[in-house]
Structure 1
Amino acid sequence: MSIEPIGVMTLLIGLVCLMLGTGALVHGLAIVAVLGAAAAMLIGAANIQPGHVMLVFLAFGVLSHRREAVAAIRALHPNEPGFWFTCLVAYGVASAFLMPRVLAGMTEIIPLGTTAFDDTGSTVPLAPVSSNVTQSLYLSTTLLCLVTLTAVAATREGFSAVFNALLACCVANTAFAILDVATYATGTQDLLGFIRNARYTLHTDSEIAGMKRIVGSYTEASVFARSTLGVLGFTGTLWLCGVRPALTGTIATMSLVLIVLSTSSTGLAGAPMMLLLLYGFAFARLVQGNARRQAAMFALGAPVIGLAVVMLLLLDPEVTAKVYGYVDLVVLNKASSDSGVERSSWNVVSFQNFLDSWGLGVGLGTARASSFAVALLASVGIPGAFFYAVFVFECFARPRGQPGSLEADIAVAARNGYAGLLIGDLLVGPIIDQGFFFCMLAAVAAAIRPRASRVPRPVPLVSGARL
């Protein structure tokens, strides 16, 4: 076991935040959660990320208080979304230890926890792998994070803290992306070496057609694009709702630009979907007659701007050729590339694992896939997919808060942020653990109970929140 410099820094930040209180702890977790390429500690081949270290401080600081502990237990009640996520984790952990042993040798897998497939170029018989343990731990910490943040958000002050921490996470995601581009352009990439020390395969200096592949604080461009799609959905919706428009509008715009320039097929394929989702939300608000100025401007102006861009492209064949060449290189030819063919083979084999296991799954962390949906079915089968679907419905799909209130707008923003993460996961997600940003979105959504619609006033986040 070794503690890295970023780990020492995280420990110090955690101690300071612990003395400052719950709000500081939540903000600390939100900021370090974006450090996806960092390892605070190295235990054998396992990377302990700064987010997991900060989670220990948060859980201790929150659950040591009686009121928050009671709220955490309440979050596991069968009427709450956390109950269904707990069922998913329980089934996932049980499947990780049972299925590779009970079904040993009954199907061929592309193992997630080893490099056997990369070394041999073929599948191997089903058997336990190291990631059965690591993925069980990661998913369990995600549950702990979800329950803890839901307990914090159960109070008005705590809800404000989690919401503000979400915005801090979005700012950090954007800031690290700008630092990534700036350090690469100036040849000073080593300045970010202390947050790029994990024992993963890192693609931090890759290029496509002379363009830097933007990775931010993550391991590769697709992971950055996936996270930024969530940021775009969350901050874009808040801007349309008039919630801190200067901040949320700036972050949403920068996120869209970074996604387009990231050279990630995940980002370029997901961005139009997110823009369509945001436009549908703005247009629905306009039709209902309760659109704020930003939503009305977007609903009426987006088609005009889109038509103008198309006309300009048609009038300049040279620019059109460059745009088409970029999209063709990054997206259209992706499926026929070596990477695309390999990832498609992962999904084919993983789906066969789902069929060979009679729909029960071959165990959490066992099989390698390249889509969240396939990974979910291959790992935890129909039971796990059912638990996850009910959790998502209870957390994100049910109406929350009084229509038109600030709490209802935040709930919709959390839902659209989750939609962005899900789009990215469906395109390239290899595992079913969706991380701490997902937990924060779920916490603010789950904390807004349906009964909140009977409260005559919205939750006061900060003075002049809509100004």
Structure 2
Amino acid sequence: MTAMLRMTLLFSLMGGSAAIILTALGGSTIQPAIFALGFLFLKAALPGPGQAQKFQLAAQDLSFLAIFILYGIAGAFILPNIFAGAINVTPLRPIPNGYIFAAFPLSFSSQNITSAVYLLSTLIAALTGHIASQAQKSEIAIARTTATVCGIHALLGLSSVVLAGTAWVSVLKFFRNGFYAQLDQTFDGFVRMNGIWPEPAVFAAYGFAWLVFTTELWLRNVEPRWTGRGAALLTIALLISTSTTAYIGLFAYGLIIALRMLFFPGSVSMRKALVLISGGMVGLAAVLALLAFSPEAASSFADFVSKFTVDKASSASALQRSFWAKQGIDAFWATGGLGVGPGSFRSSSIVTAIIGSTGLIGCTAIFVHLLRVFKPHYRSSYLRVDNARQATGVAASWAALVMLIPATFSAASPDPGFIWGFFCGFALALRRTPTTIPNRELHSSEIGLPDAVL
């Protein structure tokens, strides 16, 4: 089970690839990791000693996620037919070269089927991740696989920039056989980083999720030689990726770590805090050196970064994304809080996508599930623990929560993704282990805040 879990996580690196292309559904793509997930589920479903108890435990922990996803799957088939023509929406797969505010009457489409399949894969990932995590020493396998995924993802991304224009590009394109829009990633001689993914935004979103998990593992001293190197390498890659998604995520995550260090002294060891500060100072020194010794190169790179980050705020793309995000709110009110079903429209925020697709039921279920995953009222969510299994579970809790930050500004559908599902499964399974720091509720006196704040 653990070996098949590691295989599936490694296959997730090929996010721009296709194991199967469903031409009957408009060319919808089944990624290699989704294909492998089916075999992982079959492995989990095989009868064996204690297997029924493992399933029961996983089902209990994931009950609210199941409500969210099963309602979403049912809604994907039923709601677009009930509310057909009630409002105009932009399809999940936008019309190529169309008007940026193009919208069509709501109707059932193949994208509803595809979205239902991906939602089901998220639930299966959470279920199998939970069951696999119950094995002894699974935290070691998860930590080392995570570090390996980070290293490979970073190296593939860096190679797409450093070796641009060489035969290596053909090797990378070989893996981009999925039915996705392969965008031009060059600007004034600069090459944007996308590795074997179709575009920099999804490359950065995937990498950021693993970066948070790996960094949290390193901060909690879980396989530090593996996780520390993986986190460092992926941080470098994301910093030079010129992706708005990456920069939003890195800034938000850096702020979260700083606030934890401020309000929960001891949550990060002094040695690792110094490493983080030193890394930031080295990065700042590198930028200053570039400005001092090569002003022209610095100016060109600044223009390049500005083009794909700050300037986007006033671009046609930003206006289009704002229009897409608003559709979720409109769909919620137009359906009386029921939603129009996943896959019925394209959003640019997972928040409004969930609101418009699954309505009040879905919003409530996913909110309660996130509370159960993160456990914000428990000390172990903030303070270091000595038990490696518990520490890995806490790291997965943070990853499941923080990886949604970039999705809040970029996700097209309400599906958080199967990687998120794995993190939820890891967190709920591994945090059941007792620790040397009691896994009890947090008291305001421990952080110096008034009771009313907590």
Task: Report the residue type matching 1:292 in the other structure.
Answer: S
Matching residue of 1:213? 192
Unmatched segments (≥5 aa) in structure 1: 1-21, 457-467
The CA deviation string for residues 33-60 of structure 1, in whole angstroms up to 9 with x for no partner, is 1211111112212212111221122112
Q: 1:39 to 1:146 in 2, by over 3 A?
A: same
Q: CA deviation at 1:190?
A: 1.4
Q: Which residues in structure 2 correspond to 1:69-218 (within 5 Å)?
A: 69-77=52-60, 80=61, 82-113=62-93, 115=95, 118=98, 122-203=102-183, 205-218=184-197
Task: Report the residue type matching 1:149 in the other structure.
Answer: G
Matching residue of 2:355? 377
Contact kept? 1:153, 1:161, Cα under 8 Å: no
Superposition CA RMSD, Å: 3.0
The CA deviation string for residues 47-102 of structure 1, in whole angstroms up to 9 with x for no partner, is 1211122112211222203333431232112xx1x111100111101211121111
Matching residue of 1:272? 251
Task: Report the residue type matching 2:393 in the other structure.
Answer: A
Contact kept? 1:117, 1:124, Cα under 8 Å: no
Contact kept? 1:29, 1:54, Cα under 8 Å: yes
Between the aligned partners of 2:52 and 2:165, the Cα distance in structure 1 is 48
Between the aligned partners of 2:103 and 2:42, the Cα distance in structure 1 is 43
Q: 1:362 to 1:291 in 2, by over 3 A?
A: closer
Between the aligned partners of 1:116 and 1:353, the Cα distance in structure 2 is 23
Aligned counterpart in structure 2 of residue 404 of structure 1, from 379, 385, 395: 385
Structure 2 counterpart SS, 1:433: coil
Q: 1:270 to 1:242 in 2, by over 3 A?
A: same
Q: Which residues in structure 2 correspond to 1:187-266 (within 5 Å)?
A: 187-203=167-183, 205-266=184-245
Q: CA deviation at 1:265?
A: 1.4
Matching residue of 1:447? 429
The CA deviation string for residues 368-408 of structure 1, in whole angstroms up to 9 with x for no partner, is 00111111111111211111111111112353599522234
Q: 1:186 to 1:313 in 2, by over 3 A?
A: closer
Q: 1:355 to 1:316 in 2, by over 3 A?
A: farther
Q: CA deviation at 1:295?
A: 2.4
Q: Which residues in structure 2 correspond to 1:1-40 (within 5 Å)?
A: 22-40=1-19
Q: 1:284 to 1:250 in 2, by over 3 A?
A: farther
Task: Report the residue type matching 2:307 in the other structure.
Answer: L
Matching residue of 1:4? none
The reply to whether residue 294 of structure 1 matches residue 271 of structure 2 is: yes
Task: Report the residue type matching 1:161 in the other structure.
Answer: A
Contact kept? 2:393, 2:426, Cα under 8 Å: yes
Between the aligned partners of 1:174 and 1:36, the Cα distance in structure 2 is 14
Q: CA deviation at 1:452?
A: 2.2
Between the aligned partners of 1:426 and 1:314, the Cα distance in structure 2 is 33
Structure 1 counterpart SS, 2:91: coil
Contact kept? 1:85, 1:388, Cα under 8 Å: yes
Aligned counterpart in structure 2 of residue 430 of structure 1, from 407, 412, 423: 412
Task: Report the residue type matching 2:121 in the other structure.
Answer: T
Structure 2 counterpart SS, 1:156: coil
Q: Which residues in structure 2 correspond to 1:43-58 (within 5 Å)?
A: 43-44=22-23, 45-58=27-40
Task: Report the residue type matching 1:75 in the other structure.
Answer: A
Contact kept? 2:394, 2:431, Cα under 8 Å: no
Q: CA deviation at 1:434?
A: 2.4
Contact kept? 1:108, 1:126, Cα under 8 Å: yes
Task: Report the residue type matching 1:86 in the other structure.
Answer: A
Task: Report the residue type matching 2:115 in the other structure.
Answer: Q
Task: Report the residue type matching 2:39 in the other structure.
Answer: F
Contact kept? 1:132, 1:366, Cα under 8 Å: yes
Contact kept? 1:39, 1:197, Cα under 8 Å: yes
Structure 1 counterpart SS, 2:403: helix
Structure 2 counterpart SS, 1:394: helix
Q: 1:296 to 1:346 in 2, by over 3 A?
A: closer
Matching residue of 1:12? none
Q: CA deviation at 1:428?
A: 0.6
Contact kept? 2:337, 2:360, Cα under 8 Å: yes
Between the aligned partners of 1:442 and 1:148, the Cα distance in structure 2 is 11
Contact kept? 2:140, 2:223, Cα under 8 Å: no
Q: CA deviation at 1:453?
A: 3.4
Aligned counterpart in structure 2 of residue 416 of structure 1, from 371, 377, 398: 398
Contact kept? 1:240, 1:295, Cα under 8 Å: yes
Between the aligned partners of 1:182 and 1:194, the Cα distance in structure 2 is 18
Unmatched segments (≥5 aa) in structure 2: 439-454
Matching residue of 2:336? 358
Q: 1:291 to 1:115 in 2, by over 3 A?
A: closer
Task: Report the residue type matching 1:188 in the other structure.
Answer: W
Q: CA deviation at 1:291?
A: 4.2
TM-score with structure 2 length normalisation? 0.85
Contact kept? 2:393, 2:429, Cα under 8 Å: no
Higher mean C-alpha deviation, range 174-183 or range 372-381: 174-183
Higher mean C-alpha deviation, range 415-424 or range 155-164: 155-164
The reply to whether residue 68 of structure 1 matches residue 51 of structure 2 is: yes
Between the aligned partners of 1:120 and 1:324, the Cα distance in structure 2 is 28
Task: Report the residue type matching 1:346 in the other structure.
Answer: W
Indicate the percent of aligned positions where both proteins have the same amino acid.
26
Q: CA deviation at 1:312?
A: 6.9
Q: 1:188 to 1:324 in 2, by over 3 A?
A: closer
The CA deviation string for residues 194-241 of structure 1, in whole angstroms up to 9 with x for no partner, is 3111111122x5113422111122221000111121122122222233
Count, aligned residues: 429
Between the aligned partners of 2:401 and 2:241, the Cα distance in structure 1 is 20
Q: CA deviation at 1:156?
A: 2.1
Q: 1:182 to 1:329 in 2, by over 3 A?
A: closer
Contact kept? 1:113, 1:129, Cα under 8 Å: no
